[in-house]
Amino acid sequence: MFHREAVPEYGILLIIDVQNDFCEGGSIARKGGRKIVPIINDLMKQDRIHLVVATQDWHPKNHISFASSHMDGERVGTEPLQGEIAPFKRALVRSPNTVSYAPGTGKVDKMLWPDHCVAGSIGSGFYYQQSGDLWLDYKNIDLIYRKGTDSELDAYDVLWDEIGRPSALHFLFESMIRNMDNDLAFYIVGIATDGCVAYTADRLVQLISSVKEQHEPKVCMERGCFGDPKASLDKKVTVKVVSNACVGTSEEEHQNALERLKTTSIEVVEHIIPFPHNCGRAAELRKDGLTEAEITYIIEEGK
């Protein structure tokens, strides 16, 4: 539950789309998706995390992003996509009558995907391994937000849809940034680093900047603000992407996205789960003065 706790820094863990269809065995599987699940589960239990929010793609069967929705429609262009979705093309598709994506043309350049995360399907569920020994620990999730529910619209970030309508999470986070006395830290994890994770991180920075700009004393005097604008100016709000709790469309795209994020105000961090102290190999490496990150790498790589 959402608690306004008296802590110096209030941590919000934002878990992006850790769903069956995006992990091994899914329709748009990202290699290594299930490897991040134990790290995310451990993060949820950390004292610095006070609110856990998880998102899900939750698409209707005829969603506009599905290639199957355009099999009989106009398709222009033949640029091939790379990797696991190679059979699909980047295509110009007719936009719906209710939305003008490109005024005067009725067309928009969209990325088409295999059907995925259809609402209520197994693929749309939080990740679980069929053997039953690995799953996203949903019991520690405080709030679930489902995006992409409009058949006519994509939603790559969790704060706005593609025509600029703010989401429920937009209003929640805006209120927290504006009204809570604590410093705030947003920790972002999930799938995919170069997709919804990066989009969301960028949008959070945009939201933070917007709120702070609105609370500049001069702006407050002009528009009228509730509360003390100085409190908002003094508050520290950070956005952190946990690199080893994210997975990209490929390792190269994962690294490229992290490098780009490092050039912004977004922090790129790691969360290391220490091996138990009774693990013989780990104990030997600790004696040599290695860090937990180094120990994790050595043991997982079998060196």
Other C-beta atoms within 10 Å of 171: how many?
Answer: 11
**Three-state secondary structure call for residue 135:** strand
Q: Count Cβ atoms below 10 Å from residue 300 Cβ, excluding itself.
A: 10
Q: Is 196 a catalytic residue?
A: yes
Active site residue 279: no
Q: Distance between CA 242 and CA 254 in Å, rounded? A: 12
Give how far the C-alpha of residue 42 lies from the chain's centroid of Cα atoms, to the nearest Å: 17
Residue from 90, 71, 70 nearest 80 by CA: 90
- Active-site pick, 23, 154, 157, 196: 196
What strands lie across the sheet with 9-16, from one edge to the other?
143-147, 51-57, 9-16, 183-191, 237-247, 267-269
Q: Residues of 123-134 as b/e, b for ≥16 C-beta within 10 angstroms?
A: bbbbbbeeeeee
Helices (H) and strands (E) in the chain, counts: 8, 8
21, 117, 147, 150: the active-site residue? 147
284's tokens: 């030997």
CB 136 within 8 A of CB 126: yes
User: Which tokens in the block code for residue 235?
Assistant: 């508050």
Q: Is 57 a catalytic residue?
A: no
Q: Which among 17, 154, 161, 194 is annotated as catalytic?
A: 17
Among all residues, which ones are annotated catalytic?
17, 147, 196
